[in-house]
Structure 1
Amino acid sequence: MKTIFGDIEKAYGVHFNFIEEEVANVSIFPPNPALPLAKKIFYLENRTDLHFEVVAGVYITVSKKPVVEVPPPEKEVRVSLDEVAVEKYLTNGISKKADGAYLIKPKKLGILPGLTDTDVLQTMQQIPGIYSADETVTNINIRGGTHDQNLFLWNGIRMFQTGHFFGLISAFNPNLNDKIEIFKNGTSAFYGEGVSGVVAITSGAAKTDSTTCISSNLIWAGFNTKLRMSDKAFFTVSARRSMTDFFRSPTYKKYYNRIFQNTVVTDLNNNQAVDYQNNEDFYFYDLTAQYHQQVGAKNELDIATIAIRNLLDLNESTTTENGFVSKNSTLGQQNFGINLYWKTNWDDRNTTIASFYASHYNLDSQYENINNSQIQKQKNSVSDNGLRVEHRHRLQDLWSLNAGYQYIETGVRNDEEINNPAFLRFNKKVVRTHALILESDWKAPNNLTGLKTGLRSNYIKEFDKFILEPRLQFYHSFDGHFRMTISAEQKSQTVSQAVDLQQDFLGVEKRRWVIADNSQIPIQRSRQAEIGFTWKNKKWLVTFDNFIKKVDGISTSGQSFQNQLEFVKLNGSYRVYGTELLVQRNFGKVYSWMSYSINNNKYNFPEYIPPKFPSNYEIAHMVSGAVIYDWRQFKTALGAKWYTGRAETTPISTTLTPNQPGIIYNNPNNERLGDFFQVNLSVSYQWKVFKKGNFEASFAVLNLLNKHNIINRYYRVNTETNSAESVNTYALGRTPNLSLKLQI
């Protein structure tokens, strides 16, 4: 039945809403493809025990037909569905909820330009207002914020590492995830930390039959398996590993040259990559396991674990007057986490959820300088543990009240050791936060209006400090086609990332996690408000969102400066306001969309002159679009994106005087890099194999025109010419990739 639903959705641009277990085992002969939609629905309803109801012309709700027996009057049967404002946003599998949040269902995800896999962190960058200033998934900017200002959760576990290959690949297995929710504003009061955005990833919850997926592309290979152990128990396991340490594909070479340019792994004199065939060994992997158990009629138990690791082993060698010299350097990065989840449905009005999670992140490196005997060791680790209790009470059919408590204990450690000259630094801090949450969610009887209000009260024990964080989400649909949303929130966070030196951690990772001390490293706090409008019919979709956001408590070390502010420690704020527009048109088998976003993002560091100047992450104008053909087993997408260049700080003069200690700069971020332009292509085809299996092949090309886009520029002193020379960082060149996936 689900296969039939998918064919009808593609043919008519409609969407079926159903409960998984009600249709999972329903099988019939498909209706005649030549029949119109109404007759196909009539055919399905008359040959199954399912009832179909068409809502607003494009949504079809599916439910079990009522049984003959009449239930007792006090026994009510209700089906609750998330209110969805836009079902097909950019592509199949992405929707925009009534409250403004975005919902991605990877297993239903259509094709997007440049992607071969349903990589969640790459996919979310197609949404207006979300981008990466350096095209990595470890530097995702939501409305001008930095990556560390986003809260990333995997099954309730806070993740401090989100990428493989030092940011070019998502650390989350693309074939495992069931649901991803993305919030740019108006988040639930149950989400703490993350002053910019929230990305909540859920996997393994669907109660389906046993399935296995085996997949591979030109970088990695992996599998995931879901085992139905009984009617009430499911076990899911996944593993993925790179092939980069024994298979050097063209995709790998492009990725390698992109990440390791201008680092210790490359020759800074001519910016040429060292011979990776002999001098480096690199690989990554990720593992997950999840167990779900229905306990009795009212309880659910879920246990989820995840392990992520990157490892780089670098060997440098040269011949000197004293003979052959060889040095070995290493860089390791890992994140391990576990979450225990218990849910009890006391009755049809009361539900209690309790969960405990633990997350541990570690980044360590050892650098042996080939030019001398110096050895530098660095380590950054985070231990984050949390307890959450939530009770949901439904006051009326369309009004619920939720209350809860959270406890979060976060410890951050930073170590550094140098043998020559002898230097040792050790720093560890812990912050404990208690939070009380109260939230109300109300919907009008006609479902055209909704209001969610929340209040989060944080008490930070170490600082004896209370922080109140109100949240608001409101929507109203005027005629079923035109909808208005209003969102506002205040948030805070105590853990952020900073850059001490650009050469830290071999110059590859650079950023380390630090924790607020309420003085030199303040608590970051944000305020944001937004008003948005959506208009849609069967063929057109237009969304128009306007926002303003201010974040206090940022530091210069957390903004990755490479100019006169690189070694200056200042605290300040940034304010960003902007507009995001999307226009989408459905032509049946072909649909297209174009988005435009504009934002004004300015720093304010009061102790510096001038105090206000453009942010390092300001993208003033961004345009992207795609044309997608999606018909049954064949899909193709051609898209492009253009945006204005990031800010750069230029020297007053590139010629240095003999007594000049260094480069003298103009005001920070006084100029901009050239515009960025990229064309991307994807093609996929699916074959039916075995009785219940599918085989899919996907091919994609990033930067089809091989544009040489500069995404960063800084200046350094050339001692031979006594001048300031520029060092450019280039985006990926033309990068092909091939993905093969077998689902059985």
Structure 2
Amino acid sequence: MLLPKQFHFLFFTFFYVLSIFAQDKGKAMPFSKIIHDIEQQHQVSFNYLQEDIAGLELIPPKRSFSLDQKLRYLTQKTNLSFENLGNQFINIYKNKDESQTICGYVFSSADKKPIEDANIVLNNKIQITTDFNGYFEFKKETKNILFISHVGFVTKKITAGSQDSKNCTQILLEPEVTELKEIKANAILASGISKNTDGAFEIKPKKFGILPGLIEPDALQAMQQIPGVNSIDESVSSINVRGGTHDQNLFLWNGIRMYQTGHFFGLISVFNPNLAHTISIYKNGSSAFFGESVSSVVDISSNPETVEKNNFSAGINMINADIYTKYNLSKKSFIEISARKSITDFVETPTYKEYFNKVFQNTTITDFSQNQNVDYKSDKKFGFYDATLKYALKIGSKDQIILDLITIKDNLEVFQSATVYDIKKSENNILRQQNYGGNLTWKRNWNNHNTTKVNVSNSSYELLANQTTAIGNQVVIQENTVNSNGINIENFHNINSRFSLRNGYQFNEIGITNLEQVTNPDFYRKVKDVLKTHALIFEGKYNDTLNRIYFKAGTRLNYIEKFKKYILEPRLQLDYGINKNLNLELLGELKSQNSQQIIDLQKDYFGIEKRRWIVSNNTSIPIQRSRQISLSLFYKKNDWLLDIENFYKKVNGITTSSQGFQNQLEFIRTTGDYEVLGTEILVQKKMNHFLTWLSYTYNNNNYHFSNYEFSSFPNNFELTHTFSWAVIYEKRNFKIALGTKWSSGRPKTSPDLSRIDLSDPVLVYNEPNNTNLHIFSQVNLSSTYKWETANGIQYKLGISILNILNRKNEISEYYRISSLTNSIEEVETFSLQRTPNLSFRISF
């Protein structure tokens, strides 16, 4: 007697065999289905125009036929001809007057592989592209001069002769000396986001699809969807990568280090989302050419990879308006300009109001209004802007010069007054934050194997607070400035198709000034520190695509002049393809950092942007040093994707003042380290127009302060468990995304009520971070629609809603003694409430 499982097996086997015989003898089938079956059986690829086979149906050839027999059969049954190229590519074309057509194949001279999407310009007016087999065709003209180009290859000019569609010309393009990043997987989390073989996540804003709650390709908002990347307080000025603080991340814009990353004090990225061409994010295993960070690297480049046409776009949302334009000054030069400004000067939208309430809660500005409830008046002005300029010029065929400039500014003015017991109290507060940067790049291709690039850059940052009070006629000024100058020399040597070398030298000078000035009583303090660092860098890469091995190793030797100190920083990236679907990846790095942000007092800079930059003194403020290693498995097949990564990270030389304590450690100055052990998992599935993914992150993150009575306790930025889920639908010009984020609450320190005298309270705490906040949970939605008019003008409409369910999520909690009631007061800070946003954009 057959068991049920055996019966089911025989049942399906019977109908499968029956379908095979049906294919040999059955009814007419669509021609596209027939050639698809042939591709699967004989491992070949057909090249054809869709209109040539549209609506064509016939009885398929016998499955037992050889490939040549099937092609002869199809030739007899149709008005088509088949060109077999080495039993690999088969060209299908209609029988026509072949003397009127020229065709060709474009291959790489290095590996003889076809080049897809190569640009073919005929007589400087007709432009076509090659398909996935490198094939193209066009109608003959009296003159047939072709220019063939593709990113990564040297442009080639040929004159097409009398070739016809049965004798296609073969064109070989020479690789251009540029280091192209190998893509491990496209469309991770959303279209336009990919993962490279070197472990970096790469975002292409111009190809960006959609993410929940995000309608623009904001780099710093998008990166928070990557497992292991969070923001404890929903701020792009407080991004935590694997337990690190925000200042431990290196943010580069066209080679310029940025010390300010957020507008509206952290709720919006300062990087114009409609400008950047490539954003690379490294959680580990970054190149040895990246220094001065012990956590992640965010490298933003607005240099286009391909030649682009003149274009212009402008947009507006409920926070800001922006414009962008690129204009080709000549065939070898172009200029690119972008500018963005807040609209809060003119209108207070619902989005602005929610942002304002989020940013200024529990600051000295809101404390003023809460403590006084008689005749209170307030007048506030807030605005921000950013602007960029790029000029690029090619000199001859080997040299290129690029100039990049960027300016960023946030400005807040608040005037408050109240009358209490016939005494008028008023304050005038001014808070300004700005960052200027410039970078000049010279690049020379000496030959097809050697390239040199030289960068000279400057970044200047300022944070200024000015407070004037009516009572006592007191003025308080606080200022934090950073001036950073850098030189980078990089040489690239392409030894062969598998092996390349990079070496270089970097110099950096950073000067940081902190100023505090008070009148009545008079107080003045100004401290300026300067550090100069030299670095020698060597890096080699081996990439064997045949054996699926990618290996990159480098080292960076830093020398700090002031301390006469050498620091060696090796880096490692290894990717091995166990098979075509499964990859094993090993990443490791040692890094160091000489500057950091600290908090002296929680009410500095009105408690809004209370962190200030300082440099190491190699004693009480040590050089921060990190070591990290991670091992991951990456599986991709049949539109399924699974990425599992385990990591270990340790950072030495941190100070308590850099960690934002608001408990018994707030006024204690000591040094220590933090240690993180974690796992990050991403599961993704693509189904037709749907993309869905689920991510999970586990972190065990602990401080170690050996000189403190509690030497080990949970890190302030520990989120033990984090889940994210999203479903995205994209079809043609319509996109919609729904997602949720859930995380266990961050650590907090509770007061020890058993040791507090409530009649005259003085705060006494339990062990640091002995408990946790409530769970954080948020559901977000976004959608965009794009359309184009007959004259080529594109319009895009977007809508997003953050925190649809309007959940009141607590993101921080601390305790203080209330001066009004002389009792212990619990101070809670909450995330954004339900926040809508609407955007509109026009491009041409």
* 8 Å Cα contact 2:426/2:471 also seen in 1: no
Distance (whole Å) between structure 1 residues aligned to residue 373 and residue 696 of structure 2: 36
CA change 1:375–1:80 in 2 (3 A) is: closer
CA change 1:734–1:439 in 2 (3 A) is: same
Q: Secondary structure at the match of 2:247?
A: helix
> Which residue type is aligned with residue 329 of structure 1?
N
CA apart distance, 1:127: 0.4
Higher relative contact order (CA 8 A, sep 6+): 1
* 8 Å Cα contact 1:227/1:234 also seen in 2: yes
| Map of 1:4 onto structure 2 | none
The correspondence of residues 125-524 of structure 1 with structure 2, limited to 5 A, is 125-205=224-304, 206-267=306-367, 270=370, 278-320=378-420, 324-369=424-469, 372-446=472-546, 448-524=548-624
CA apart distance, 1:421: 2.4
> Which residue type is aligned with residue 526 of structure 1?
S
CA apart distance, 1:694: 1.1
CA change 1:237–1:276 in 2 (3 A) is: farther
Distance (whole Å) between structure 2 residues aligned to residue 79 and residue 151 of structure 1: 24
Match status 1:88 vs 2:172 = no
Please list the CA deviations of residues 624-667 of structure 1 after superposition, one character each: whole Å capped at 9, or x if unmatched.
01011100010000000100000000000189427857200001
CA apart distance, 1:187: 0.5
CA apart distance, 1:498: 0.1
Match status 1:609 vs 2:709 = yes
Match status 1:598 vs 2:703 = no
Distance (whole Å) between structure 2 residues aligned to residue 146 and residue 284 of structure 1: 25
Please list the CA deviations of residues 103-132 of structure 1 after superposition, one character each: whole Å capped at 9, or x if unmatched.
100000001000121111000000000110
CA change 1:725–1:689 in 2 (3 A) is: same
Give the fraction of aligned pairs with identical amino acids, expressed as a percent: 44
CA apart distance, 1:743: 1.0
* 8 Å Cα contact 2:106/2:114 also seen in 1: no
Please list the CA deviations of residues 489-534 of structure 1 after superposition, one character each: whole Å capped at 9, or x if unmatched.
0000001000000100011000000100001110000000010110
> Which residue type is aligned with residue 108 of structure 1?
K
CA apart distance, 1:444: 1.5
* 8 Å Cα contact 1:114/1:681 also seen in 2: yes
Distance (whole Å) between structure 1 residues aligned to residue 548 and residue 274 of structure 2: 35
- 1:570 aligned to which of 670, 684, 694: 670
| Map of 2:796 onto structure 1 | 696
Please list the CA deviations of residues 404-448 of structure 1 after superposition, one character each: whole Å capped at 9, or x if unmatched.
000000000000011132211110000000000000011125161
> Which residue type is aligned with residue 531 of structure 1?
L
Q: Secondary structure at the match of 1:246?
A: coil
CA change 1:270–1:74 in 2 (3 A) is: closer
> Which residue type is aligned with residue 229 of structure 2?
I
| Map of 1:628 onto structure 2 | 728
The number of equivalent residue pairs is 714
- 1:673 aligned to which of 763, 773, 786: 773
Q: Secondary structure at the match of 1:124?
A: helix
- List runs of 5+ in structure 2 lacking aligned partners: 1-48, 58-87, 95-100, 108-112, 117-130, 136-147, 150-155, 162-168
Q: Secondary structure at the match of 1:473?
A: strand
CA change 1:520–1:663 in 2 (3 A) is: same
CA apart distance, 1:80: 6.5
* 8 Å Cα contact 1:656/1:724 also seen in 2: no
* 8 Å Cα contact 1:549/1:575 also seen in 2: yes
Q: Secondary structure at the match of 2:764?
A: coil
Distance (whole Å) between structure 2 residues aligned to residue 490 and residue 521 of structure 1: 19
CA apart distance, 1:607: 0.5
Match status 1:120 vs 2:219 = yes
| Map of 1:25 onto structure 2 | none
Distance (whole Å) between structure 2 residues aligned to residue 283 and residue 370 of structure 1: 25
CA RMSD of aligned residues (A): 3.1
* 8 Å Cα contact 1:262/1:268 also seen in 2: no
Distance (whole Å) between structure 1 residues aligned to residue 750 and residue 497 of structure 2: 61
Please list the CA deviations of residues 314-367 of structure 1 after superposition, one character each: whole Å capped at 9, or x if unmatched.
101122566655431100000000000010000011100001000000000111
* 8 Å Cα contact 2:376/2:416 also seen in 1: no
Distance (whole Å) between structure 2 residues aligned to residue 34 and residue 552 of structure 1: 68
Distance (whole Å) between structure 2 residues aligned to residue 451 and residue 370 of structure 1: 65
The correspondence of residues 619-658 of structure 1 with structure 2, limited to 5 A, is 619-653=719-753, 656-657=756-757
| Map of 1:111 onto structure 2 | 210
Q: Secondary structure at the match of 2:495?
A: strand
* 8 Å Cα contact 1:654/1:723 also seen in 2: no
CA apart distance, 1:723: 2.4
Distance (whole Å) between structure 1 residues aligned to residue 56 and residue 204 of structure 2: 29
Q: Secondary structure at the match of 1:144?
A: coil
CA apart distance, 1:589: 0.7
CA change 1:258–1:396 in 2 (3 A) is: same
User: Higher mean Cα deviation, 504-513 or 440-449?
Assistant: 440-449
User: Higher mean Cα deviation, 318-327 or 61-70?
Assistant: 61-70
Q: Secondary structure at the match of 1:95?
A: strand
| Map of 1:682 onto structure 2 | 782
Distance (whole Å) between structure 2 residues aligned to residue 276 and residue 413 of structure 1: 37
Match status 1:531 vs 2:631 = yes
Q: Which has more radius of gyration? A: 2
Distance (whole Å) between structure 1 residues aligned to residue 115 and residue 187 of structure 2: 15
User: Higher mean Cα deviation, 62-71 or 616-625?
Assistant: 62-71
CA change 1:77–1:710 in 2 (3 A) is: closer
User: Higher mean Cα deviation, 641-650 or 269-278?
Assistant: 269-278
CA apart distance, 1:722: 3.4
> Which residue type is aligned with residue 141 of structure 1?
N
Distance (whole Å) between structure 1 residues aligned to residue 449 and residue 171 of structure 2: 17
Please list the CA deviations of residues 576-600 of structure 1 after superposition, one character each: whole Å capped at 9, or x if unmatched.
0100000001111111000000010
Distance (whole Å) between structure 2 residues aligned to residue 254 and residue 581 of structure 1: 33
User: Higher mean Cα deviation, 315-324 or 555-564?
Assistant: 315-324
CA apart distance, 1:271: 8.8
- List runs of 5+ in structure 1 lacking aligned partners: 1-27
Distance (whole Å) between structure 1 residues aligned to residue 52 and residue 797 of structure 2: 28
CA change 1:48–1:665 in 2 (3 A) is: farther
* 8 Å Cα contact 2:479/2:515 also seen in 1: yes
CA change 1:61–1:511 in 2 (3 A) is: farther
Distance (whole Å) between structure 1 residues aligned to residue 726 and residue 386 of structure 2: 32
CA apart distance, 1:227: 0.4
Match status 1:543 vs 2:647 = no
CA apart distance, 1:88: 1.1
Q: Secondary structure at the match of 1:195?
A: coil
TM-score between both structures, scaled by the size of structure 1: 0.91
> Which residue type is aligned with residue 709 of structure 1?
N
* 8 Å Cα contact 1:492/1:526 also seen in 2: yes
